[in-house]
Chains A and B, each alone.
Chain A
Amino acid sequence: MAATRTLIRPAPQNPRLTIPEVDIRICLGTGGVAAGSREVLKAFEEELARQDVLAVVRPREDKCDGRAASITGTGCQGLCAMDPLVEIHLSRNGKSSKVTYGQVTPAMVPEIIEKHILGGEVIEKWLVLTNEGPTEYDPFYDAQEKLTLRHVGIIDPEDIDDYLEAGGYQALYKVLSEMTPAQVIDELKRSGLRGRGGAGFPTGQKWEFAAGYQSPDGVKYFICNGDEGDPGAFMDCSALEGEPHAVFEGMAIGAYAIGASVGYMYVRAEYPLALRRIRIGLEVAEERGLIGDNIMGSDFSFHIKLKEGAGAFVCGEETALMQSIEGDRGMPRLRPPFPAESGLWKRPTNINNVETLAVVPWIIMNGAEAFAARGYEKSKGTKVFALAGKVNRTGLAEVPMGMTLREVIFGIGGGVKKGKKFKAVQMGGPSGGCLPESLLDLPVDYETINQTGAIVGSGGMIVIDEDNCIVDTARYFLSFTQSESCGKCPPCRIGTKRMLDLLTRICEGRGTLADLDFLEEMAQQVKVGSLCALGGTAPNPVFTALRYFRDEFEEHVVDKRCRAGICTALVTYSIDAEACTGCRACVRVCPTGAITGERKEAHVIDSELCIKCGACYEKCRFDAVRRS
Chain B
Amino acid sequence: MTTEATVHDADEQEQEERFEELLGHYKGQAGALVPLLQGAQAIFGYLPEDVMRQVAKAAGEPLSKAVGVATFYAQFRLRPHAKHTIRCCHGTACHVSGAARISEELVKYLGIEAGENTPDMLYTIEEVHCVGACGMAPVVMINDRAHGKLTPEKAVEVVRDFRSEVEGLSAGDGGAPAGATEQEGDDA
Q: Are B91 and A327 in contact (CB under 8 A)?
A: no
* Least CB distance, B25 to chain A, in whole angstroms: 13
Interface centre among A270, A271, A327, A345 (most CB of B within 10 A): A327
Q: Which of B51-109 contact A (CB under 8 A)?
A: 59, 61, 65, 68-69, 72-76, 90-93, 95-97, 101, 104, 108
- In the complex, the answer to whether A231 meets B136 with C-beta atoms within 8 Å is no
For B, the interface residue count at a CB cutoff of 8 angstroms equals: 47
- A534 to B30, alpha carbons, bound, how many Å? 27
Set of chain A residues within 8 Å of B73, measured between Cβ atoms: 310-312, 329-330
Which residue from A83, A238, A330, A618 sits with its C-beta under 8 Å from B72? A330
CB-contacts of B99-124 with A (<8 A): 101, 104, 108
Q: Are A31 and B133 in contact (CB under 8 A)?
A: yes
- A-B pairs with beta carbons under 8 A, tally: 161
Interface residues of A in 322-336 (CB under 8 A from B): 324-330
**Contact indicator A270/B130 (Cβ below 8 Å):** yes
Q: How many angstroms from the CA of A81 to the CA of B148 in the assembled complex?
A: 10
Give CA–CA (A476, B149) in the complex, Å: 21
Question: CB < 8 Å: which of A312, A386, A476 contacts B134?
Answer: A386
A395, B139: Cα distance in complex, Å = 14
Complex contacts, B146 vs chain A, CB 8 Å: 30-31, 33-34
Nearest CB of chain A from residue B178's CB, rounded to whole Å = 18
- Measured between alpha carbons, how far is A307 from B69 in the docked complex, in Å? 15
Q: How far is the CB of B96 from chain A (nearest CB, A)?
A: 5
Please report which residues of chain B, range 129-146, place their CB below 8 angstroms from some CB of chain A when the two chains form the complex: 129-137, 139, 144-146
Is the CB–CB distance between A231 and B30 below 8 Å? no
Do A81 and B75 form a contact, CB below 8 Å, given A272-B144, A327-B32? no
Chain B residue with the shortest CB-CB distance to A486: B72
Residues of A in contact (CB 8 Å), total 63
**Contact string against B for A residues 434-452, beta-carbon threshold 8 Å, 1 for contact and 0 otherwise:** 0000000000000000000
Which residues of the other chain, B, contact A484 by a CB distance below 8 angstroms? 129
Chain A residue with the shortest CB-CB distance to B149: A35
Give the residues from 1 to 42 in chain B that come closer than 8 angstroms, CB to CB, to chain A.
Answer: 30-35, 37-38
Complex Cα distance, B59 from A269, in Å, reads 21
Contact among B31, B69, B132 with A234 in the assembled complex (CB-CB below 8 Å): B132
- Once bound together, how far apart are the Cα atoms of A81 and B90, in whole Å? 19
With a CB–CB cut-off of 8 A, which chain A residues contact B32? Answer: 327
Check if B152 is an interface residue, CB within 8 A of chain A.
yes
Q: Contacts A232-B91, A460-B92, A464-B96; is A34 near B151 (CB within 8 Å)? A: no
Distance (whole angstroms) from the CB of A389 to the closest CB of chain B: 5
Question: A311-B74, A613-B101 are contacts. A30–B152 as well, Cβ < 8 Å?
Answer: no
Task: Evaluate whether A312 and B101 lie within 8 angstroms (CB atoms) in the complex, with A231-B129, A234-B135, A388-B137 already known.
Answer: no
Enumerate the 3 nearest inter-chain pairs by beta-carbon distance, A residue then B residue, closest first: A80-B135, A311-B74, A232-B92
